[in-house]
Structure 1
Amino acid sequence: MRASHTDRERAIDVLKAGFSEGRLGQDEYEQRLSRATAAQTYGELNLLIGDLPQGPVPMPPAVPVRQQYPPVARTFLPAPPKTNGAAIGALVCGVLTPMYGITAIPAVILGHVAKAQIRKTGEEGSGLATGGLVLGWLAIGAVLLFIFAVVATNV
């Protein structure tokens, strides 16, 4: 395939980089430069620059600098926030609802209590409380739907 002016200029840039890096001597650089300006095809250009890097030589990754100071002792770090116990209870009751239907009511109650405590104290466990609330309310809704369906079929 025929080479364009841009292709020849790119090859000349590669030759210039090879010369400036010391990969080509003066005579060889001038010879290749004159042949690159006269090249008509990609094949001719590839013969001229095939043994040279096509861009900057990649540098090895930098070695990470070692930490200058020892790690902070655990006693000086703030304690991790606790998980709210009511939130854990709400989720456990919500998960047990399919086996023991009565645990839906404590799941809802504990979920609301946990949400209030978490807002006050900043403890962890908001997702657990929400999970308990959702499971509890779904179970209560399913029981009410079942009761209404039974009443409607008997009327």
Structure 2
Amino acid sequence: MSQSPYPPWQPWEGQRVPQSWAGHRAPSMLASHAERERAVDVLRAGYAEGRMEHEEFDKRVARAYAARTVGELAVLVADLPQGPVERPAPAVPATFAPVARARTNGKAVGAALCGLLCVPTFGLTGIPAVVLGHMARSEIRHSGEGGDGLALTGLVLGWLYTAGWALVMVLVAAVTVTVG
């Protein structure tokens, strides 16, 4: 026979004076059927959580159904939680946790947009794309924001169209000087 983890005297065995159920009616008041069922529910929850052995659970349930007063019921459940026990949420391993995305720099978005608008505007938005692209890349380096690819796209497209317009102007000037 194994040694019981409980002291030799158990309060629910009726060897001591019953104590009142926390915040409940007087211990000498007769117990109702609903109060007995509530005590048995608390015992079931305690057993399901592994707080007592099956033999002890059976004894306590039998005593709960035989109890005449609220005090007798209170002694049966005094060492058990009276409601759901709050458990911490399970921790999600870092491998499965969602990755926080860095905020995209607004100037980088503007640089990419101006760079793409160079095509329909025949290069008029090239200089704003270059200016916004350089500003965005500087801010991204200092703040850790996202959008470096967008800023680089705006820079490349802006410089291509600005260089294209510069080449066109040089060619027009060369033709004008040569012809004129």
TM-score by length of 1: 0.50
Match among 91, 105, 113 for residue 84 of structure 1: 105
Amino acid at match of 2:113: V
Deviations 1:49-94, CA, capped at 9 Å, x for gaps: xxxxxxxxxxxxxxxxxxxx5646xxx9774211111111100100
Please say if 1:119 is aligned against 2:141.
Answer: yes
RMSD, matched Cα: 2.2
Aligned to 1:135: 157
Amino acid at match of 2:120: M
Gaps of 5+ in 1: 1-68
Q: How many angstroms apart in 2 are the aligned matches of 1:83 and 1:107?
A: 16
Q: How does 1:1-155 map to 2 (within 5 A)?
A: 71=92, 79-100=100-121, 101-155=123-177
Q: CA deviation at 1:113?
A: 0.5
Gaps of 5+ in 2: 1-89
Aligned to 1:43: none
Structure with the higher helix share, 1 or 2 = 1
Amino acid at match of 2:129: A
Amino acid at match of 1:125: G
For the pair shown, the structure with the greater C-alpha radius of gyration is: 2
SS at match of 1:111: helix
Q: How many angstroms apart in 2 are the aligned matches of 1:91 and 1:150?
A: 29
Deviations 1:113-153, CA, capped at 9 Å, x for gaps: 10010011001111111110000000000001001101111
Q: How many angstroms apart in 2 are the aligned matches of 1:95 and 1:129?
A: 12
Q: CA deviation at 1:154?
A: 1.3
Q: How many angstroms apart in 2 are the aligned matches of 1:85 and 1:127?
A: 12
Amino acid at match of 2:141: R
SS at match of 2:125: helix
